[in-house]
Amino acid sequence: MQAGSLAVDRAFLDLECFPRELSCVGYQGVFPSLIRLPFVFVFGNNVFQWEVFFISAGILLVLVSTLWLTGVLESVLDIRISSNFVDLIIGAAPALSTPFVFLSSRPLLYEEALIWATGMSLLALVLAIKYWTQPRLVFLLWLSAVAVGGILSRPSGGGLLGSLLLVIVVGRHTYQSYRNSRTSLALIPIAILPFMAFASINQAKFGQPFAIPFNIHEGVASSSIRSSRLERVGTPNRLDNIPTLIFQYLRPDTIEVEKSFPYFGFRFPAINTEAIRSIVHENPGVKALWPIRSDDIETEMTASLPPTYGVYLLASISGALLWLSFRRTHSCGPKSLNAHMLLTFGICAAATTLPTITAYGVTHRYLIDFLPLVLLVGTISLLRLWFWAENYRTARIMFYSGLGVVFTLSFFINLGLTFHFQRTWAGELLPEYRDLRTALLKKRDEFLVVLILGAIVSRCSHEDESLNSKRSGM
């Protein structure tokens, strides 16, 4: 990138290579590389020793955005949390009680891009709410910048949310202001700026503004299964994958309890295709409602939403039941105008999960694509539940105790799944570190081993030339 090119040597990207003459390009977003450029000019190749700093910056963005989003939602709902315990849970849950624990343990380009995209999506939610309630140009400009950062981190999932929110708020403002002032049309270029930025980068990489030519991807070309699948289906994403993937991401039995630390692990297989085939075979009518493409779906170790998002999902269900039960006699919801805003933004967050639930494969890191939606709905529900429970002593005791138990359980589940994944990941470590990690894993009772493993993996990423090159070639 210092030389003005997005291409790198073929050996650097390996199976993630898209060949282009004598070099390669990758499909990952360029934002993590862009934020490294100033450091490269100062420190040169020593910038790779700063990996922990960049990942920590992305994690900090997620945490700060979560706290800011909670404060904004309190203002919108006119609910003020006076409990330090609830504030602590709301602030810590995204980092400690979601698949974010898993992402933070793997300092690779996939996970870092997801971390930045998630942080940008949460920050975009904050700025969109701010602009909706207080239409000031500064909020819109910041939202545009964040949307560009998000879509250049990952053009699907959470990275797309900022761009959708920007289109929504600009469209609403333009519609409301058009009769009084046509100068509002000048905001339209701001709304399409993220898409223009993505199209420019994609054009420079692949010679087309929006499509990615997976037919020349080394990972596809080197695999007869992948290449034949691409020839059959024509695209990595298909709508008829939705039922199978939704079933996977919503089923509660994707984890199993172990007898020793870390006590929780992945259940295999990730998708029980044999069971699905038997259901379809015994009930032919099911196939019309549930088109199964098990042969076209790749599976890795993957959990699901119920065990990994326990706090937010339980709060969402309880909050929905509370609202349905007491909507006529209790004021525990936002005003009508703000309700429309939150519903609109919730729909946008749900829409960004479409690439995830239409993909040709499942993997645990994709669960983070649901975080903006789950966090938005879950936080609103937590605030409503707290508002209601504070008026009743028994309800207050149940709320605090239940919240603490679910948060703790969800934390250990996500921590256990992280251990389980790292235990089977030895093939990606340098040989000199595998024996050390194997020895460490025998000491399962030591809680700090996860930090040690993170340091080992991080160290490997510094010394492994291919991983370093992947970073610079994003």
The secondary structure of 167-216 as a DSSP string is HHHHHHHHHHHTTT-GGGGGGHHHHHHHHHHHHHHHHHHHSSSS---GGG
Task: Tell me the chain's radius of gyration from C-alpha atoms.
Answer: 23
SS3 351: helix
* Assigned domain for 226 exists: no
* Assigned domain for 257 exists: no
Model confidence band, residue 138 (pLDDT cutoffs 50, 70, 90): very high
Model confidence band, residue 107 (pLDDT cutoffs 50, 70, 90): low
Give dist(CA 116, CA 54) in Å, integer: 10
Closest C-alpha among 88, 100, 89 to residue 60: 100
Bridge partners of 18, per DSSP, are: 25
* Assigned domain for 293 exists: no
Give dist(CA 254, CA 304) in Å, integer: 6
Give tens-digit pLDDT for 305-322: 999 998 898 888 887 877
What pLDDT is attached to residue 467?
43
* Assigned domain for 29 exists: no
* Assigned domain for 385 exists: yes
Q: Residue 292 is encoded by which pair of tokens?
A: 């199964």
Whether 5 shows a pLDDT value over 50: the answer reads yes
Task: Return the C-alpha torsion angle 36, 41, 43, 48, nearest 10.
Answer: 30
Q: At what angle do helices 161-177 and 109-133 cross, to 10 degrees?
A: 20
Model confidence band, residue 275 (pLDDT cutoffs 50, 70, 90): low
What pLDDT is attached to residue 296?
60
Model confidence band, residue 101 (pLDDT cutoffs 50, 70, 90): confident
How many domains, the chain?
1
* Assigned domain for 320 exists: yes
* Assigned domain for 31 exists: no
Q: 302 with 296: CB under 8 angstroms?
A: no
Q: 119 with 338: CB under 8 angstroms?
A: no
Give dist(CA 97, CA 315) in Å, integer: 13
Model confidence band, residue 473 (pLDDT cutoffs 50, 70, 90): very low
* Assigned domain for 454 exists: yes
Average pLDDT (93-121) is 85
Q: What is the pTM of this model?
A: 0.82
What pLDDT is attached to residue 119?
94
Give tens-digit pLDDT for 143-161: 999 999 999 999 888 889 9
What pLDDT is attached to residue 36?
82
Bridge partners of 20, per DSSP, are: 23
Domain encompassing residue 445: 43-184+306-472
Q: How many residues does the chain have?
A: 474
Q: 161 with 124: CB under 8 angstroms?
A: yes
